[in-house]
Amino acid sequence: MEGNSGGGGADRGGNDVELLCKTLQVEHKLFYFDLKENPRGRYLKISEKTSATRSTIIVPSSGISWFLDLFNYYVNSDDNDLFSKELQLDTKVFYFDIGENRRGRRLAAEDIVTQLLIAHLQDVESRL
């Protein structure tokens, strides 16, 4: 199911202008693709929302085509050829990881800052 509803929620940047919004529903998840612009330039905000969680990554405009190339790599590659990849764009580093569970294959895309924060929180939690 596709629509034109934005990802919702207020952006932290008050000067952000929404240029294009698309929504895609896959099974029980909603994916929001919001092309926005602020004084620093254009960017693509990709959000995944389930009934319990919401995850968001921000892709600078300079990296959108690279991001699409990586998605195509994971979709079109043989299972035996797939491996994790990193992509550096401006000051951000994105980590792509392919995985599988009882529901099927999945592609996780995170920025390294998010991964470091999760690792830190897990470390703190293990000490409690």
**What is the mean predicted confidence (pLDDT) over 2-10?**
47
**Residue 116 clears pLDDT 90, i.e. is over it:** no
In whole angstroms, how far apart are CA 16 and each of 11, 12, 42, 45, 66?
7, 9, 9, 11, 23
10 vs 80, higher pLDDT: 80
pLDDT of residue 1: 43
The mean pLDDT value of the chain amounts to: 78
Could you state, in order of their start, the residue ranges of all structural domains in the chain? 2-127
pLDDT in tens, 42-85: 999 999 988 888 888 888 898 888 888 878 887 787 767 677 78
Average pLDDT over residues 100-117: 71
Q: 114 to each of 56, 57, 83, how far by Cα in Å?
A: 10, 9, 20
**So what's the pLDDT on residue 14?**
73
Picking from 14, 16, 20, the residue whose alpha carbon sits closest to that of residue 35 is 20
72 versus 89: which is more confidently predicted? 72
Between the CA atoms of 29, 5, 3 and 39, what dihedral angle is there, to the nearest 10 degrees?
-100
* Partners of 101 in beta bridges: 104
pTM of the model: 0.66
- CATH code of the domain occupying 2-127: 3.30.2450.30
Judged against a pLDDT cut of 90, whether residue 22 lies above it is answered with yes
* Cα 51–chain centre separation: 17
Write down the pLDDT at residue 36: 96
